[in-house]
Structure 1
Amino acid sequence: MSKGIEMERKVTKFGNSLGITMTEALKQIGLEVGDTVSIDVKEENGEIIIRRARKVQLPAGISSDFLDTLSQVMEDYDDTLKGLKDR
């Protein structure tokens, strides 16, 4: 098993968002600008796991534009959708 990179970073502000820089860690797993990642937040132990997103084969008749639009709508209406879930 290869040795991982251990690093410590400060949380900084990027526009209205909080973030960290970790270019070398992302490069180590082969990520580049524009790649998609999967983020798993484990509140119970304070972990955030970032993985390269798996490529998904879309069913016939479903375009990537549709999924992009659906993703944007879900992001824009996240609070509303969460509120509906609790009804």
Structure 2
Amino acid sequence: MTLAVVKDVERKVTKIGNSLGVTLPQEVLEHLGIGQGDEVRFDLSDGYVTIKKKSNIKLPRGIDEEFLEQMNDMINEYDQTFKGLKDR
């Protein structure tokens, strides 16, 4: 069994145009399998941020990404309603 080596990597927040940004060191990019042009996903939870490489999912013919985003928005908006229907 191989144990992962835990490393602390620090970066300073810098101004990039009108925004703030943080650069990622090469070792972090390699660890995540991220390269130039890849998209990343930020999951926010309890004061922590998890960075993941965004998965490229091949959508079925006739279904586009905008449709899925709209469906996701609707599900998030009506989540409690759906849960209430489940318990009926």
* CA distance in structure 2 between the aligned counterparts of 1:2 and 1:28, rounded to whole angstroms: 11
* CA distance in structure 1 between the aligned counterparts of 2:38 and 2:23, rounded to whole angstroms: 16
In the superposition, the TM-score normalised over structure 1's length comes to: 0.60
Following TM superposition, the consecutive aligned residue runs of length 4 or more in structure 1 with deviations greater than 3 angstroms are none
Q: Which consecutive residues of structure 2, in runs of 5 or more, have no partner in the other structure? A: 71-76, 78-88
In the alignment, what sits opposite 2:80? none
Paired residues, number: 66
Question: Displacement of 1:31 after TM fit?
Answer: 0.7
Q: Sequence identity, in percent?
A: 37
In the alignment, what sits opposite 1:35? 38
In the superposition, the TM-score normalised over structure 2's length comes to: 0.60
- Secondary structure, aligned partner of 1:4: coil
Question: Displacement of 1:14 after TM fit?
Answer: 0.8
Question: Displacement of 1:15 after TM fit?
Answer: 0.8
* CA distance in structure 2 between the aligned counterparts of 1:27 and 1:15, rounded to whole angstroms: 26
In the alignment, what sits opposite 1:10? 12
* CA distance in structure 1 between the aligned counterparts of 2:6 and 2:37, rounded to whole angstroms: 23
Q: Which consecutive residues of structure 1, in runs of 5 or more, have no partner in the other structure? A: 75-84
- What CA deviation, in whole Å up to 9, does each residue of 1:13-60 have, x standing for no partner? 111111111122112222100011111112x3x211100112212120
